[in-house]
Structure 1
Amino acid sequence: MIETPLWEGELEPDDTVPPAASQRGPESTGSGAPMRNLPVVSIGRPEVWNVVDFFDAGALPAPMRSKLSEADFYLVRLACSFRPEHDNTEIEWARFSVSLQRDEAGLIPSAFDLHPLFVTSEVKRNVTISLAPTLKFLEVEAGIGSVGFGIEYQEIQPIISASGAGESEPAWDFQAAKGTHVHGSKWMHLLVRASPAMTTCHARLELSADVVRSGLRIAAFSRPRQTMADPLTVRLWG
């Protein structure tokens, strides 16, 4: 469960996408009527830690010390959830995306690694990951971290593919598997690489999805109603 959502609300149809262009399968025709009562989604408030805070500096492997001397690394825990409210409504595909922002000096961080990266065939339960000496995510036996700590997932459901490593706009795609649809809470971890001179970082979070109702597919996305600052732009550190 996401205990502290950053935002929660219904997906909204993307009016900029023509109905024909929003279809992903053979059922490409629809009435063009607006869809109402789309699935409710929530975006969790990111949790962020400086990687150096996890370890005893004197016990760090040489490859990790070398990387940490070149740049700052932050571990970011992200979450979202999907709750279709009608029996004839499903989320067939969804994307959770993160846009890392430039600071006032023009510095921009990048995604050094993402997890989960690629899950295709089975539901994984009680998965523990840690950081390898190369500062890459590594699945380990439950309760055992490769350099002293572990992050646990209760469940990872296929089909998931991540993109954007080495870039400033990482994302996770969730695809319905046979006999299922995209639903429930999703947890993701991002390792961000930043210049030591970058003392503050903001990120824009977004959800987009293909919703299927009675054979009709429509593109939809998260769009908070707002009167002031964008609630989906958050400060990660600084």
Structure 2
Amino acid sequence: MTETDDQLAERLATTAGAILLALRAEGLDGKALGQAGDEAANAMLCRELRAGRPDDAILSEEEKDSAARLAHRRVWIIDPLDGTREYGEGRDDWAVHVALAVDGVATVGAVALPGLGITLTSGAPVPLRPANSPLRMLVSRTRPAAEAVFVAERIGAELVGMGSAGAKAMAVVRGEADIYLHTGGQYEWDNCAPVAVAQAAGLHVSRVDGAPIRYNNADTYLPDLLICRAGLADEVLRLAAEYRPAS
């Protein structure tokens, strides 16, 4: 039986995670490990996608981009190793992203969290847990965005530092946190798979101005992102719009 797109994404993300764990067990660390991991995971993902979906385009953080993908309705958007620093430091808050955007919409996604031994997918959404009390908002563990700090203070949310974008987004999906507000800029491969998984789970996903997120753009830079419980979206978006940088 032919694999569905969801099954393919899950298998490839999980396999890439196993490759990365095996590499880390060989004793490399730091930047050398990160580089080796990026290369090995990317090679496998691109090889398997070209074999399994030869008519689709690929956008990968680790491959030279081509404008030819803009003519494709179906584009696989992958990040072979999201959270290279965390991976190299022996932490668990890193991920593998495999997503399919169709007509610019994040349609299929798989996010492997190899350090935790799980892969979350759009094809098998996990039930949302009750909200945390107090609410928990995820931010970068090294550089929390000022907008996120501003919003958290006004809704009484606890700030939780975490590594990769995929790890943070999946923490909301898994109920470990309630809000992921990011305004520091990302690229399409940083959030396409997490967005697909979060949407399938019933979470709110948008730009920080409330606009939908579109993929397979000529410019792959995405300035901001909000993933949160649907019931919190209006208030978080309103407060984010009120934020003004200190002069």
Q: TM-score band, normalised by the shorter chain?
A: under 0.3
The structure richer in helix per residue is: 2
Bigger Cα Rg: 1
TM-score normalised by L of structure 1: 0.25
TM-score normalised by L of structure 2: 0.24
Select the structure with the greater relative contact order (CA < 8 A; seq sep ≥ 6). Answer: 1
